[in-house]
Amino acid sequence: MLLELLIHAVKPIDCLFNRPHALRSFEKSLLHEFKANLSSDLQDIEFNIEYLKDIKNSNSIIARFLDYEFEYNDSLDSHFGRLSNAAIFMADVSTYESSKSVGLTIIRNDELRRKISHLYSGRYRTIQQFEQSIYNTNSNGLMPAMFENLKDYKPLISATPTDIDQIRESVELQAYIRIHIISIDFLIDIYDSTREEIVKIFELIDQELE
């Protein structure tokens, strides 16, 4: 990574602060790396949003079926197979972690520095914590209820009700599906606001790189 090379190439790093041109060059290199990391994160977020919308759609369709809005047909099996799925955000924090050795104070723009810090230490942590909460709820609640009422389960592909009347009487399964739908909506909102923050950081970085 360029940032790490720069850190090791200039010893001690404090000498940069006595060389304005070198300091500015170092800052620009850091911002370029942040932008590359955040571009990858933004793609991941946008993919996860669309993926979650698809999972929510499957959950909503099954919820309607359980509420007797329509009768069973085998096209529902693909939706049963997607009931418990959720997203996992794999943030690229390499530049943020590396920059701790010199401190984010090397970024002159106060607003940009605050937004980067808030994104990594606040937003990203919130996403990870909420995704873990969804995983725990699904593992301990939704999936056991699914296994009690479904057979031939193939994740993301299909599953078939063992008994139509029984699955429609499963209050537990219906409750966990509704919880999952609400959780997905909330996570999409978090993703959306995080996406907006990243776009704003892009704007501030581009201004600094001009």
Q: Give the residue from 176, 127, 120 showing the smallest Cα distance to 147.
A: 176
Contact 192, 123 (CB under 8 A): no
Q: Residue 136: which domain range?
A: 2-209
Average predicted confidence (pLDDT) for the chain: 90
The whole-number average pLDDT for the span 28-35 is: 94
Euclidean distance between CA atoms 144 and 36, whole angstroms = 41
At 99 the pLDDT is 85
- Mean local confidence (pLDDT), 181-205: 97
Q: Is the pLDDT of residue 8 over 50?
A: no
Neighbours of 170 (CB within 10 A): 18
Domain count, the chain: 1
Task: Give 20's pLDDT tier (boundaries 50, 70, 90).
Answer: low
pLDDT tens, 51-95?
999 999 999 999 999 999 999 999 999 999 999 999 999 999 999
Contact 11, 47 (CB under 8 A): no
Segment (H or E) for 108: none
pLDDT at 126 (0 to 100) = 96
Q: CA 203, CA 180: separation in Å to the nearest integer?
A: 35
Interval 153-183: pLDDT, tens: 999 999 999 999 999 999 999 999 999 999 9
pTM here is 0.87
Which residue is it, tokens 């404090």? 14
